[in-house]
């Protein structure tokens, strides 16, 4: 019997994936966990003007710049997005993202809420994932455990998180990053990305 149509397969298009969530929720840990799985992704390195925390490696965890250097890069239009967050600049180098997408790889970015919102506006087809905790107490203890903020800074982060939870509609997915269950979090994120690659109507990222 002759078949007069073509069997279709999933179309591979590069995804722009944003891992976001409130301060202290474990964005860095989740991205580092994905990196250790040796997945075929390009992991974007964020630039910041804050001081490195213990065990953070410049050029691997973040690009650490002075405020003056960062502002010069802003003036030169070198960032895909940037924001003033908790008394420091954060931003994503533009060329890094575009080159990775052009290579056919999925691109994973770790961004705060402001950065995720900007990416949503620039690229409506980006995949935005919001990390959350099991409950308020777990998140507060995780935040305090970093011992990197003053009481005033902690209060600011808590107030900011409330505003972020009130604006979750910009995200596509919400994933619980429970203490002691990192592998489960990573499995869920991998499953999301796999499912996104099997959409009937693929996302088309344009930047």
Averaged pLDDT for residues 202-207: 87
Q: Is residue 201 part of a domain?
A: no
pLDDT at 5: 82
Averaged pLDDT for residues 80-102: 87
Angle at 182 between CA 177 and CA 188, to 5 degrees: 70
Q: Is residue 6 part of a domain?
A: no
Tally of domains within the chain? 1
| Active-site residue (options: 37, 146, 184, 199) | 146
pLDDT at 141: 79
pLDDT category of residue 83 using cuts at 50, 70 and 90: confident
Nearest-10 Cα torsion for 28, 33, 37, 42? -10
- Asked if residue 51 has pLDDT above 80, the reply is yes
- Give the Å distances, CA to CA, from 166 to 18, 84, 95, 99, 161: 19, 20, 32, 34, 9
Ramachandran quadrant class, 188 (left: phi over 0; alpha: psi -120 to 50; beta: rest): alpha
Answer for the pair 80, 97: CB distance below 8 angstroms, yes or no.
Answer: yes
12 vs 47: CA distance, rounded Å: 29
Catalytic (active site) residue 146: yes
CATH of the domain at 93: 3.40.50.300
Answer for the pair 19, 27: CB distance below 8 angstroms, yes or no.
Answer: yes
Q: Is residue 89 part of a domain?
A: yes
pLDDT at 158: 82
| Active-site residue (options: 53, 98, 184, 204) | 53
Catalytic (active site) residue 147: no
Answer for the pair 32, 189: CB distance below 8 angstroms, yes or no.
Answer: no
Catalytic (active site) residue 53: yes
Residue 87 belongs to domain spanning: 16-196
Q: What is the DSSP letter of 13?
A: -
């Amino acid at each position: 019997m002759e078949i007069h149509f073509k069997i279709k397969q999933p179309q591979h298009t590069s995804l722009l994936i944003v891992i976001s969530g409130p301060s202290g929720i474990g964005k860095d840990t989740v991205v580092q966990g994905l990196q250790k799985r040796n997945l075929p992704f390009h992991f974007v390195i964020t630039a910041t003007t804050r001081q490195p925390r213990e065990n953070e490696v410049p050029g691997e965890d973040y690009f650490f710049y002075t405020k003056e250097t960062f502002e010069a890069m802003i003036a030169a239009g070198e960032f895909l997005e940037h924001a003033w967050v908790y008394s420091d600049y954060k931003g994503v180098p533009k060329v890094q993202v575009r080159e990775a997408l052009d290579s056919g790889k999925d691109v994973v970015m770790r961004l705060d809420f402001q950065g995720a919102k900007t990416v949503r506006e620039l690229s409506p087809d980006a995949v935005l994932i919001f990390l959350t905790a099991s409950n308020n107490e777990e998140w507060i203890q995780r935040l305090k455990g970093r011992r990197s903020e003053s009481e005033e800074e902690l209060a600011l982060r808590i107030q900011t998180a409330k505003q972020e939870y009130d604006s979750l509609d910009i995200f596509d997915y919400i994933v619980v990053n429970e203490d002691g269950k990192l592998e489960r979090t990573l499995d869920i994120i991998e499953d999301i990305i796999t499912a996104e690659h099997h959409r009937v109507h693929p996302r088309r990222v344009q930047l």
